[in-house]
Amino acid sequence: VALEKRIPTQSGLGGGSADAATVLRLAGDGVAPRELRRLALECGADVPFSLVGGAALLTGVGERVESLPPLQGGAFVVAVLGEVRTAAAYALTEERDFSDGSRASRLAALLRAGLPPPPELMGSALEAAASRALPELSERRRRLERSLPGTVWAMTGSGGAFFSYQPDPDGAARVAQAAARALPGTPVRVVLPRAGEPGPVRPG
């Protein structure tokens, strides 16, 4: 298997899980879907979702995947602010970091209704733990917020990428350019929620 890696590692973007799911798809021709899902879960908690992709609500340890309607427009600005090992983030998780799941349920309900969720509902409950694992993560986020007042940023997965949902791609491009200027050397991309390839963003 020859792999061209485009997703930054240790960024909470599910790149490793997507790799595993792709190999399972390639090697699993003729394997029953239920068995493929079992094998996916053995590879990692995020791999069953990566077999399906799209928008989804995950329950259990990630093995129960309920597909949801995707966002119908807008774009995401993704900025990789640091590398956080998933194991390190989980090791530093404290009881106070756990949520009751209501935020995810509200977000899923809005997607089912065809409505864009407010940015405040997006993000990861692992952000506090990720910041303990990589203390400079919080300062880099603050620099983003200072350079773009009013723009809401949320962390992906176990970190350390952050994203901002923008209602239209042109606005997302402007936010991405400002983010790239605020944090020189930081990988910044605009990603469309449906069709379209992510592309590099350069300041200026």
- pLDDT tens digits, the chain, 204 residues: what are they? 787 878 888 899 988 899 999 999 888 888 998 999 999 999 999 999 999 888 899 999 899 999 999 888 889 999 999 999 999 999 999 999 998 999 999 999 999 999 988 988 999 999 999 999 999 999 999 999 999 999 999 999 999 999 999 999 999 999 999 999 999 999 999 998 764 344 444 443
| Residue reference for tokens 């530093």 | 92
pLDDT of residue 194: 61
pLDDT of residue 196: 39
pLDDT of residue 29: 85
pTM metric for this prediction: 0.86
Dihedral Cα 50, 51, 54, 60, nearest 10 deg: -70
In degrees, to the nearest 5, what angle opens at C-alpha 125 toward C-alphas 103 and 147? 100
Instruction: Write out the two tokens for 128.
Output: 């506090």
Interhelix angle 169-182/136-147, rounded to 10 degrees, is 120
| Structural element, H or E, at residue 34 | helix 33-43
Detail the DSSP E strand segments found in 60-141: 64-68, 75-80
pLDDT of residue 47: 94
Q: Is 66 helix (H, G, I), strand (E, B) or coil?
A: strand
pLDDT of residue 7: 83
Dihedral Cα 9, 13, 100, 37, nearest 10 deg: -100
pLDDT of residue 54: 87
